[in-house]
Chains A and B, each alone.
Chain A
Amino acid sequence: RKEVEQDPGPFNVPEGATVAFNCTYSNSASQSFFWYRQDCRKEPKLLMSVYSSGNEDGRFTAQLNRASQYISLLIRDSKLSDSATYLCVVKSGSSYKLIFGSGTRLLVRP
């Protein structure tokens, strides 16, 4: 079983739609969680950290469910510029290493 699993998609949605991605992780000792965004042929960039209480940044909302070991990302009012691959990332305890999921691809159409 992969340490971090994501639905690869693609999710094909119209502009203005709300879309949600889920991610599951296998290591219950995981402590820190992130969503990164990767544009085609570019490097990954941090989108947002995921806190236990959930957090929101504009149109983006991230949630963490430790009991079920999954993380979610909700994007409201999708824009064409949101088209990218979204990487779920997990860090275990005191480890210096991040474990990256394979990513979920989002395509927002006009």
Chain B
Amino acid sequence: NAGVTQTPKFRILKIGQSMTLQCAQDMNHNYMYWYRQDPGMGLKLIYYSVGAGITDKGEVPNGYNVSRSTTEDFPLRLELAAPSQTSVYFCASSQRGNEQFFGPGTRLTVL
């Protein structure tokens, strides 16, 4: 099993550009999450999903959108990138909402 995979690993965006961060898991987990982690800070929840077709906002959803059309995939869309969105983005999944398994992260810089 690959676990949780994320692409790309690194990306530099210009202000105002858009992009989609990809996340996939092969563990048949129902729950999936997107976090951002700023330097020296804790993880902040952006969006989460409890199953295909069901998504909900987390602590810091502004500037992001998600969709969950399949159990495996949970892409995060950034529209109109801003410097404040420079961060490391982690995707995670869990079976029953307890232990979460994380992907390796995407390092995003907005200039």
A contacts with B: majority SS: strand
User: Is A103's CB under 8 angstroms from B97's CB?
Assistant: no
User: Is A87's CB under 8 angstroms from B90's CB?
Assistant: no
What sequence of 0s and 1s flags, for each residue 33-64 of chain B, a beta carbon within 8 Å of any chain A beta carbon?
10100001111010010100000001000000
Kindly list chain B residues whose C-beta atoms are within 8 Å of the C-beta of A97: 33, 45, 48, 58, 97
Give the one of B35, B97, B104 with max A CB within 10 A: B97
User: Is B97's CB under 8 angstroms from A96's CB?
Assistant: yes
Kindly list chain B residues whose C-beta atoms are within 8 Å of the C-beta of A96: 31, 48, 50, 94, 97
Kindly list chain A residues whose C-beta atoms are within 8 Å of the C-beta of B40: 8, 102
Kindly list chain A residues whose C-beta atoms are within 8 Å of the C-beta of B94: 96
CB distance from B48 to the nearest CB of A (A): 6
Q: Which residues of A contact B (CB under 8 A)?
A: 4, 8, 32, 34, 42-46, 49, 87, 91, 95-98, 100-103
Q: Which residues of B contact A (CB under 8 A)?
A: 31, 33, 35, 40-43, 45, 48, 50, 58, 90, 94, 97-100, 102-105
21 contacts between A and B (CB under 8 A): A4-B42, A34-B99, A43-B105, A44-B90, A44-B102, A46-B99, A49-B99, A91-B97, A91-B98, A96-B50, A96-B94, A96-B97, A97-B33, A97-B45, A97-B48, A97-B97, A100-B42, A100-B43, A101-B42, A102-B40, A103-B42
